[in-house]
Each structure stands twice: as structure tokens, then as C-alpha cells.
């Protein structure tokens, strides 16, 4: 996942990315790697690529401002998605057994 995210940010298809090289902990905003529009493109990419929904209140530097933070965020979102998606009752709005 880390390398896939790095490849997206480094890709010529992301015209707002200003990348020569960067470390996993480098801040995208502080280093000028991405601007705010680039961050929105990144959010769209991770939603599509990993099948997750990024809420507006989750678009913060603590989640998205470096490869390391982004990897942890996406892993957490995909893990929580898969833990809920296995229950058809949950999807139908029915309570899960044992959660009375």
C-alpha cells in the first residue's frame, strides 16, 4: 500500500505534485509536495482505490499529510470497513446479535 500511495503522489498524472524525492514522514504541505487541491485529488484516489469513504472531518494533516500518516489512515479505514461489511443485518439496519 505504501508504495502504491507513493507512486500515485509521484505520478505525472497528478500535475499539482511537486516531487523530486521525499521520505515517508515528510509533510506533503510543508515540503510543497501537494497543495490543498492535490490533497483533494489524493482523497478521491484513496476512496476509489481502496473502496473507503473519507469524511470531511477526516481531511486533516493528522490523517493525510505524509506517506506514513496516510498509510495508517487507509489501513484503519479499510479494517473498520471490512469488520462491518460482513454483517448483512448491519447493512439492512438491523442490530447485530449480542449488541443489545
56-65 confidence digits (pLDDT tens): 999 999 999 9
pLDDT at 57: 97
Give the pTM. Answer: 0.74
pLDDT at 15: 57
Q: What backbone phi and psi angles, to 5 degrees, belong to 57?
A: -75, -5
Which of 34-38, 42-46, 75-79 shows the lowest per-residue confidence on average (mean pLDDT)?
34-38
Give me the mean pLDDT over the 30-52 stretch. Answer: 91
CATH class of 2-78: mainly alpha
pLDDT at 35: 84
pLDDT at 31: 86
Amino acid at each position: 500500500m505504501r508504495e502504491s500511495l507513493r507512486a500515485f503522489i509521484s505520478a505525472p498524472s497528478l500535475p499539482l505534485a511537486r516531487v523530486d524525492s521525499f521520505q515517508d514522514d515528510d509533510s506533503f504541505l510543508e515540503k510543497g509536495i501537494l497543495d490543498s487541491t492535490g490533497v483533494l485529488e489524493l482523497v478521491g484516489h484513496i476512496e476509489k482505490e481502496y473502496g473507503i469513504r473519507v469524511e470531511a472531518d477526516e481531511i486533516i494533516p493528522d490523517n493525510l499529510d505524509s506517506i506514513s500518516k496516510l498509510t495508517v489512515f487507509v489501513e484503519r479505514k479499510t479494517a473498520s470497513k471490512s469488520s462491518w461489511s460482513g454483517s448483512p443485518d448491519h447493512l439492512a439496519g438491523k442490530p447485530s446479535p449480542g449488541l443489545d
